[in-house]
Every structure is written in C-alpha cells, then in structure tokens.
Structure 1
Amino acid sequence: MMVPLVFIPGLACTELLFEPVVGEIGDRVTMQIVDHRGPDTMEAIVDQILANAPSYFALAGLSMGGYLAMELALRAPDRIERLALLNTKIRPDTPDERANREALIELAEAEGMEAVADRLMPRLLHPDRLADPDLVDRVRRMAVDTGADVFVAQERALLTREDISGRAGEIRMPTMVLVGDADQLTPPEMGQEIDAALPNSNLVTIEACGHLSSLERPTEVAQALATWLGLARI
C-alpha cells in the first residue's frame, strides 16, 4: 500500500504551489499540503508539521519547504519513507542573503505583500514565463494570501536556519533532488551539491524552468514525482 505524500510549500506560497501537480497525480496517491503558518523558528515549524503529519509518509518540499524537509528527515527519519527536494539548497544563507531577508521583512511591514511579490517576481520565474499573466497572477495571489504577518514569521524562521550540510550523510532514505535549469534563487549547482552529499539520491533537471517548478512545469514535475514514487508513467 502506498504511503501518503506530504508537500511542504515555500516562502510566501500556499497550496496553490502544488495544485497543478496534484491535478496530474492526485487520483493515484493520498496527498496532504502542509500549512506552516504561525511559528517563527524552524524548530517550531518542524514540530508543527510532525504533529499533524501521518505516522509514515513520503515527503516533498520546494525551496523553504525543502529546507524543512531536510530538517524533518534528520529529526524523524523513521517516519519518512522517501524524500523529494525541489528547487532548494543545503548550504546556509550568505551574509548578503540574510541581509536581503531583513530587507524583505521591512518591505512587507512597510508596503505589504504586493510590493514583496513585485520585488521577487523576476527571480522566481523563468524569464519567458514573466509574460504569462495567469502564472504571474497565481504567484502574486499566493503572496497576498500569505499576508505580511505570516511572511515576516517565515522569514524570521529562515533566519534561525542552522547549517546542516555537515549532516547530509545522515539523510539515507531514497531522495530525488529536482532543479530548474534557469533557477536564479537556487541555481542547479545547489541541487547538484545536495545530490553529491546525500548517499541515496538522484538528480532531475527540468529544462526552461525557474524557481517555482511545480507551477512552471507541472507535467514534468508530476512525472518526476511519479517516477520517484514508483508509479507508472502519467
């Protein structure tokens, strides 16, 4: 019997992030999309996810969701059958990246999430997809629906993220690392770094894809997830 699949969205993202993928494979596996609003530390978010997750499950996370997925894999390896890390990194933030998080907190508090979405949009999507009004609207809607208070809590949680790169060898469950070839926020080499560090992983590259792979290339991402789950081709 197939275990449930738990998705963890990224920063300023909602269940809409995985909606197209769920539409592709949702009738073949039980799915749960995590709501990690509220806590403002990584440890507290991990606690919240574990308290609400099935006893044994497959886990997929994108961006911030990938950071959390790796933390979960280290905290509760006996509960996670397999792991999918999408558009994420294992290395800690640089000083410039931390400063950028602080700047985004200030922007959200001063001008709201429309301004945050405008600031981030060019780095979230493949350049060719910035001309897709439906896709841009979906990304903007996720940010606005997240709200400034939740976004600030998420950013503050990310500022508490510890360097776990030295523990990568402890993540032993079968893992798929997925990258977008044009991802500006977590470039392909960051995924390659994870793949090289984990003892039981394989790397999948999605072509003509930026940071939000599940929205930009849902069919390709759904196929990669189906293969990872051991399902027949979709």
Structure 2
Amino acid sequence: MSDSNEPNDVDGTSSFEAGTEPSIEWCLENGYKIPKWLLKCNIKCPYVKGRIFNGKYGPINYSVVGDPSASLVLTFHGYNATHTTFSIYQSVLSKNGFRVISFDLYGHGLSGYPKYKVFGNTFSSKYYVDQADEVIDHLGYTGRKLSVIGMSMGACIAASYCETHPDLVEKIILISPAGLIPKKPMRVVFLKYIQCCIPCTPLCVSKCCFSGRVTTPKSKSNRESPESSQESLETGECVSVDEVSGESTELNPMLNRMLWTLFVTRRAISNLLGIVNRMPLWSSRELYRRVGGMGKLTLILFGDSDTLTPPECADELSRLFTNSHTIIFSNSDHLLSFKKPLQVVSTCLSFLGIPNQENAQNYTRWLPFDCNGVYIPKSRRELGHSDETELTHNVSAPSLGSLTNHALPDEPPKSSTTSPFKIFRDYLPPDRTIKQLSLTEEYPRKKVPLVVVKQFENS
C-alpha cells in the first residue's frame, strides 16, 4: 500500500508492482549476479518484493499496510523466513484499524546480506532492533507507540525491541517463541569456536553437487555441445538481461529456493550460520524475565506438537511474563501460524483490541479461543473471567445486533478513543478461510470488540 505522505523509496518501484515476485530482468538490473547455468534452468526469484530503501547494511525490503493514522503493529519473522509470513495479518488487521509493518530481516529475502563480522554484533538481537528502527525512521513513525508481533526467532527480537523501547511498546504477541529451546545442539556449540570460518562458507558450495538435479536446456538458435554446457556449469558465468534464454523448464520450488540461496545470494549461508551463532535462540530467559517484568499485555501462542519450541516452555514463559495469557493449540506444531491461520489471526485481532494496562487474565474468556485452543461461542464470552480463577465481574457477550452503525474499512477512524475495529463485510481478503471471521458490536463501557469466527460459531 503506497501513501502520498510516505518517503520515496530508491528501488525502481515505479516500474515494478510491489507485492509480487520480481522478474529475473529486475533482479539482474538491480545487481543480482545470476550464473548463466541457473538462468538456463529457469530459476526464479523465490521472494516477494514489497518496497525497498537503502539501509545501513544494505537494502531493506518491507511492506506497510493500513491507514497511516491507525495504531501501529510491528512484526518480526522467524529464521530463514521473510516478511510475507505476516501477509494474512496485514490483510486482516489493516481492515480493522491497524497499520501493519513487516520487513525482511538482514540476511533474509530481498533485504541485504551483510558480511558476517567475527568481532561485532552482526545478526544479534540488537542488530535487528537497529534495523527495525531504520524502518520506523524511514516511515516517519519515530516516537509513535506500537504493538509488536514476533514469530519463532522473531519473538526474541520483539522482546529485545520492547526492552530497548519500553515507553513505545504497548502489547506483545509471541507466536511459537524461540529463546527457551531446551537443548543447544553440539554442532551449534562447536560453531562458536570456529566462527572465524563462517565468512568462508560460500566457498564450500560447489555447483557440481547439483548437476544431476537440474537440467540446462539448449537454445534453439544455438545448440551447445556437452562440453560447453559442462564448462558453463563449472564456471558459473553470469550474464546480462539480453542473454536470458526464452526456453525454460520448471524447477521444484524448494530446489529453486535452495539454488537461489546458494548461488545468487552468496552470503546467505554465512548469514544464516551467523544468526545461529549470535541470536539467543536458546538463552533468552533473562531477556524474557526483564521484559515480562514490565507488566505489558502479552499473548503467547504455541502448538501442542511443536518439537522445536515445545509447549513445555509455555509454563515458564507464563511465569516470566507477569501480565500474559497463553494458548496452546492442539494438532499443530512449530508452523502454528501457517497451519491454523484463522485461529491465530482471530486471536491476535481480539487481543489487540484489549485496552492497554489491563490485566490479561480478565480477558481469557473474551478471546475467541480458550487456553486449550477450543473455540468459545459468542454466547459464552465473558469479561472479567479467567480460565484459572472464579468469575469476578461477569459481563455477558453482547448479541450481534445491527452492524449498520459501524464504520466501514475505507472510512477513517472517528477519534483515537474509539475502538479501532471495524466490520469486514465486502472488504474481506481473498483468503477463503478469513471469510469466516467477523466482528460484533463493541461492549460499550470498555470499548472491547468481540471477534466471532463463523466457521466455528456455526459448527
């Protein structure tokens, strides 16, 4: 979403539609060195281009959606992921009074791939907090309050961002959070002692390892001999836009991304190893304790079959974050957000509507799903009720009533004191599952919106 009052980005966006996969021509024109043998295999850029500006350590690819005056939500994706992790969040939240900012962390997607520095803080939590500040400053939102959402590794960064900017962060959402992973693999421990070798890892990857898995079709106008094809494979010769062959084959998406990572973004492997070495994926306990002690409203979501960040960590996280609520969804793993998008997004939507400085435990029966991930029908929603405690202030959920008095998504919010939530109606995103999500009227005293998931309400 482009706004006239936003800064101009320096990426040639005017000739390219943001929000789509960039063409090979665009990649070549913007400095990506693609070996000739990969072009003949019809390799494609596996990432989605948003808007790009030049950051301190290279380009930063980002996406921002929603009314510029709406409440800000800053997101942090996980390891080896990209900003598109939050596409569905942007679709839903932006239509309900939020402006959602997502970006590719350095070493991911279409953002820059800086050189790993043995002495320094490259790819540490602070490094990524600084990158987030770059994005916020670029958008002109310095000093504005916001909520943060962190997924997996992004949870560590979200917590670090909150610690750095305690006066700005209002709410925290942690999805499948890393930081308390039970046991660090020995190979990761060993990596710390050989980190001087990390910058050299791209040299360890040979193209011949993939010669049997990809095909290099011959040009119709100039058939190459087997010797010349092998020579091209070995040299990895790069070409210009004019040399892109019109004849193509289709690569498996997973293989396509692997080849792009290894041979186009040459520093990707060293960057990923640097992240494993520097990020506190196993050791964020004290960070979480400090941030949790601030008492900010925090939502923690786990999948019950998550083996990477097991739900056993949930109890400890609940203790560390003193004003938190934890939900463990059944039949889901570390990819909770992708396997149960409707449940996760609707819960986040409802949680973000809770007034700041409230006690999270008073809203556990107002969210659409209880602590076990079981849907709560609207007739059983209550304010002031905790799953673990007796009902103190029983307030029944309002009925659906008339929706005609609510502002539609294309109308600006009336004031900063009203609830940011609006009705979806005909402005639903294309995802079929999200069409099952709607909002009822607000509870008038506290302006707390009630999120109803039709798919579960009618079952």
TM-score where L is the length of structure 2: 0.40
Task: Summarize deviations over 1:82-115 as a string: whole Å, max 9, x none.
Answer: 111111133377441652895xx86996379xx9
Which residue in the other structure is 2:305 paired with?
182
Distance 2:328 2:202 in 1: 33
Which residue in the other structure is 1:46 paired with?
129
Q: 1:32 aligns with which of 85, 101, 106?
A: 101
- State the SS of the aligned residue for 1:78: coil
What amino acid is aligned across from residue 158 of structure 1 in structure 2? V
Change in 2 beyond 3 A, CA 1:168/1:67 = closer
Deviation at 1:26, TM superposition (A): 3.1
Change in 2 beyond 3 A, CA 1:149/1:77 = same
- Which consecutive residues of structure 2, in runs of 5 or more, have no partner in the other structure? 1-68, 107-112, 114-121, 192-197, 211-251, 354-420, 422-448, 453-459
Task: Summarize deviations over 1:134-166 as a string: whole Å, max 9, x none.
Answer: xx96x8887777656235324413322353423
What amino acid is aligned across from residue 150 of structure 1 in structure 2? A
Change in 2 beyond 3 A, CA 1:205/1:144 = farther
Q: 2:150 aligns with which of 52, 61, 64?
A: 61
Q: Which of the two has higher C-alpha Rg?
A: 2
The answer as to whether partners of 1:25 and 1:226 remain within 8 angstroms in 2 is yes
Which residue in the other structure is 2:391 paired with?
none
Aligned-residue CA RMSD (Å): 3.3
Which residue in the other structure is 1:120 paired with?
none
Distance 1:195 1:58 in 2: 19
The answer as to whether partners of 2:74 and 2:147 remain within 8 angstroms in 1 is yes
The answer as to whether partners of 2:160 and 2:287 remain within 8 angstroms in 1 is no
Residue 332 (structure 2) pairs with residue 209 (structure 1): yes
- State the SS of the aligned residue for 2:156: helix
Residue 323 (structure 2) pairs with residue 200 (structure 1): yes
- State the SS of the aligned residue for 2:185: helix
Q: 1:157 aligns with which of 275, 283, 305?
A: 275
Deviation at 1:187, TM superposition (A): 0.9
Change in 2 beyond 3 A, CA 1:42/1:109 = farther
- State the SS of the aligned residue for 1:77: coil
The answer as to whether partners of 2:123 and 2:274 remain within 8 angstroms in 1 is yes
Task: Summarize deviations over 1:46-96 as a string: whole Å, max 9, x none.
Answer: 111123234321100101111111111112111211111111133377441
Q: Percent identity?
A: 19
Which sits farther off after the overlay, 33-42 or 44-53? 33-42
Change in 2 beyond 3 A, CA 1:30/1:152 = same
Q: 1:170 aligns with which of 290, 309, 312?
A: 290
Which residue in the other structure is 1:78 paired with?
167
The answer as to whether partners of 1:9 and 1:65 remain within 8 angstroms in 2 is yes
The answer as to whether partners of 1:13 and 1:143 remain within 8 angstroms in 2 is no
Residue 172 (structure 2) pairs with residue 89 (structure 1): no
Distance 2:172 2:128 in 1: 18
Which sits farther off after the overlay, 40-49 or 150-159? 150-159
Change in 2 beyond 3 A, CA 1:170/1:5 = same
The answer as to whether partners of 2:146 and 2:168 remain within 8 angstroms in 1 is yes
The answer as to whether partners of 1:4 and 1:31 remain within 8 angstroms in 2 is yes
TM-score where L is the length of structure 1: 0.74
Deviation at 1:9, TM superposition (A): 0.6
Greater RCO (CA < 8 Å, at least 6 residues apart)? 1
Residue 76 (structure 2) pairs with residue 8 (structure 1): yes
- Which consecutive residues of structure 1, in runs of 5 or more, have no partner in the other structure? 116-135
Change in 2 beyond 3 A, CA 1:154/1:175 = farther
Which sits farther off after the overlay, 209-218 or 61-70? 209-218
More helix by share: 1
Which residue in the other structure is 1:227 paired with?
350
Distance 1:111 1:220 in 2: 43
The answer as to whether partners of 1:18 and 1:214 remain within 8 angstroms in 2 is no
Distance 1:24 1:144 in 2: 33
Deviation at 1:42, TM superposition (A): 2.6
Deviation at 1:220, TM superposition (A): 0.6
What amino acid is aligned across from residue 110 of structure 1 in structure 2? V
Change in 2 beyond 3 A, CA 1:87/1:100 = farther
